Amino acid sequence: METLEFYRNLPKKVCVECGQEIEEQHESYLYECERCIGHGND
């Protein structure tokens, strides 16, 4: 298997709150989109 194929098969991360796709960032531990994270405990 080629490395490129491996990355192409990676599932896209989606926000656990709204289901919106999360763009790959260096903070790989994030499970919510910036918008939902920004909501806080409002």
Q: Which residues bind Zn ion (CB under 5 A)?
A: 15, 17-18, 33, 36
SS3 38: helix
Q: How long a stretch of residues is the chain?
A: 42
Instruction: Kindly tell me which of 8 and 39 has the beta carbon lying closer to Zn ion.
Output: 39
d(CA 16, CA 7): 22
Question: In terms of CB distance, is 3 or 38 closer to Zn ion?
Answer: 38
Minimum gap (Å) between residue 11 Cβ and Zn ion: 17
Helix or strand or coil: residue 14?
A: strand
For the bound state, the minimum distance from the C-beta of residue 8 to Zn ion, rounded and expressed in Å, comes to 24
